[in-house]
Amino acid sequence: MNIEELSIKTIRMLALDMVQKANSGHPGLPLGAAPMAYIIFKKFLTINPKNPCWINRDRFVLSAGHGSALLYSMLYLSGFEKMTLEELK
């Protein structure tokens, strides 16, 4: 298994943990869109987790609220440290 596959599986599992522990939410979007989100965050977005208010950062808008577990997973795994892993779950 290469790093890309491992990263995508990690995104999926973290999102599933959030849905399960909340006893609410929709796991479909995080499971299906994890590869797309990984590629966008890894190869296309210009972000700086150490400076989240940086004026020249790219913005990622996820309009499907039921996919918030995917977005929170991506932000956490990209290095935005506002929440701990336990708080995410």
What Å distances lie between residue 74 and 5, 37, 51, 56, CA to CA? 15, 7, 16, 19
What Å distances lie between residue 28 and 23, 34, 48, 49, 83, CA to CA? 14, 10, 28, 27, 23
**0.95 exceeded by the pTM?**
no
Domain boundaries, the chain: 3-88
Given a cut of 80, whether residue 83 has pLDDT beyond it is: no
Q: Model confidence at 24, in pLDDT bands (50, 70, 90)?
A: confident
Q: What is the mean pLDDT of residues 24-30?
A: 90
- The conformation of residue 23, written as its DSSP 8-state character, comes to T
Residue 64 — φ and ψ, nearest 5°? Answer: -90, 105
For the chain, list the strands marked E by DSSP: none
**pLDDT of res. 9:** 97
Taking only the tens place, the pLDDT of each residue in 38-61 is: 999 999 999 999 999 999 999 999
Give the pair of three-digit tokens for residue 88.
């995410």
